[in-house]
Amino acid sequence: MNGSVLRTKMAKTPPVFVGILVFCFWIALANAEYTIYQDPKQPIGKRVKDLLGRMTLDEKIGQMTQIDRTVASAEVVQKYYIGSVLSGGGSVPSPTASAETWIDMVNGFQKGALSTRLKIPMLYGIDAVHGHNGVYKATIFPHNIGLGATRDPQLVKRIGAATALEVRATGIPYAFAPCIAVCRDPRWGRCYESYSEDPKIVRAMTEIIPGLQGDIPANSQKGVPFLAGQQKVLASAKHFVGDGGTTKGINENNTVSSRHELLSIHMPAYYDSIIKGVGTVMISYSSWNGIKMHANRDLITGFLKNKLRFRGFVISDWQGIDRITSPPHANYTYSIIAGVNAGIDMIMVPYNYTEFINGLTFLVKNNFIPMSRIDDAVERILRVKFTIGLFEHPLADYSMIKYLGSHEHRQLAREAVRKSLVLLKNGESADKPLLPLPKKASKILVAGTHADNIGNQCGGWTIQWQGQTGNITVGTTILTAIKNTLHSNTEVVFSESPGSGYLKSNKFSYAIVVVGEPPYSETYGDSGNLTLPDPGPSIITNVCATVKCVVVLITGRPVVIQPYLAQIDALVAAWLPGTEGQGVADVLFGDYGFSGKLSRTWFKTVDQLPINVGDRDYDPLFPFGYGLTTQPVKAN
């Protein structure tokens, strides 16, 4: 409408109506009250205080509640003021969901949060523990045990940055990573999530946090959460504290140690994480000297919050407060009191969120949990949400989908695989090495259950919570990588479990045997015997008895290998390398040299366990730090 038409219409409007229109306009302006918390120019502390002062108890308790996507909807988020939604392991919109589908889902939940009275955005979180591992087509990096063998914190930082981009590609701003456990016993089903048995290596690898979140500015206040921008994600140091030290490596069990031992072995990586600005800390299911960590006020509030001055928020593990009692959920009222009063700020209650919300509301109204504790929790959650720019950027866009499984990230993962491989044996003696293998040969054999299986080489926490055998996502199997690398005249024969007659009747120049553990995670991976599952041992003995062989082990930890060692010509620990199997072939055939060093002690028998570097009676099969080297071959 042009100005002259507008003036004509105004001229025809009776003066009394003009006056009413002007009056209504000023009333509307007055009602659109300026709010400090919505002003990005205001300091975060002021914004938190302003918003906290406006919130009802229902709104505060909603912020403390994190629910799984399977029970979430825009309506649920709006009705209960839900502060956070997560994808548990394998909880996805559909098995092969695109990045766009993920973004649409996350934004759908967010619209529910933005339609509440105060428009506090919800925070979406996911386990991205070796890349964006729950998402189809994402780059899957080696698990932490392999990264520990690289001794390369800058590589791990670059992996953090790549993971952040892939997580953001699906519209998610929060990753439940890194695991900074110090695994002291390989019988533990989560040992592969630990960088090392040595706290010094685990401390060095906290460099993944500035990879995920960005480098904190010089002279910034220590302990305050930080995020460098919308291409970074909020990290979570886990699992506080002592999760890698349980008796016999039993998952979620009891860590028996002195306070000095806890602080010198299991705590130091938390110091580094907090100094590097980690935004959240996740509590461990395990106990310390019989006290469940989810109920340990001394360590959560007394040590982490008060002594270490951690200013981010503390989050429970999945149904973590339920497991304060045995059996879990036996006395949920007690569990809520114990967990919240211990200092947990955000509670992961994936399914029974109304029970939690009603229970916590009752306990606050009846003075079992002080309002000051609720305010501390919500203040911390809001501080993190303001810090990461969630109020200014609540909705994800599609500009970053190009990063999911990108070529650059796959090349980085391939580099990580190369550097993580540990050469444990190479020929009868240093004078007669088998590796690197020649690319030109008349006929070679590739055997084993893990040679042509993406799921097996990725391990647990891949697509599904427990992982899954089979070609479950996009990547390069070790068999494909070998074929890609060999000279075109070399015949490659693949037989998963060849019989002795077949082996004798074919004249193989050499054999590559790729065997290992099946995928597993958490308690399902606990193992008292650490033996290679069948048919791994029989494949090794059959093939290596007949053909010159290199055995490539795909495992989440050291396993029983001594009985077969004499038969094996060359032995490589490849850990759980992820989707980029080409990195294995790169080193086997000499395009790059072996450089990895054991980040864990390799035991002779399980009777020695736990065995760790520095023990008085230290008599390993391969000591901590062991790893033979080879030189790259220019052309072979």
Catalytic residue numbers?
317, 522
Q: Answer for the pair 283, 237: CB distance below 8 angstroms, yes or no.
A: no
For 391, other C-beta atoms within 10 Å of its C-beta total 18
Instruction: Return the amino acid letter for 58.
Output: D
CA atoms of 582 and 479, how far apart (whole Å): 9
User: How many whole angstroms from its chain centre is CA 543?
Assistant: 37
CA atoms of 101 and 96, how far apart (whole Å): 10
CA atoms of 134 and 129, how far apart (whole Å): 9
Residue ranges of E strands in 302-442: 313-315, 347-348, 422-426
Q: Answer for the pair 227, 389: CB distance below 8 angstroms, yes or no.
A: yes
CA distances from 544 to 504, 507, 575 (A): 12, 14, 21
Instruction: Retrieve residue 478's tokens.
Output: 């070790």
Contacts of 298 (CB under 8 A, 6+ apart): none
CA atoms of 284 and 188, how far apart (whole Å): 14
Q: Answer for the pair 241, 262: CB distance below 8 angstroms, yes or no.
A: yes
Q: Answer for the pair 540, 486: CB distance below 8 angstroms, yes or no.
A: no
Strand partners, 553: 515, 573
Q: Is 536 exposed, middle or buried (0-12, 13-18, 19+ CB in 10 A)?
A: buried
Can you give the C-alpha Rg of the chain in angstroms? Answer: 28
Q: Answer for the pair 404, 166: CB distance below 8 angstroms, yes or no.
A: yes
Query: Phi and psi dihedrals of 499, rounded to 5?
Result: -80, 165
CA distances from 399 to 99, 103, 396 (A): 11, 11, 9
CA atoms of 112 and 78, how far apart (whole Å): 5
Instruction: Retrieve residue 1's tokens.
Output: 């409408």
Instruction: Retrieve residue 224's tokens.
Output: 């305050």
3-state secondary structure of 333: helix
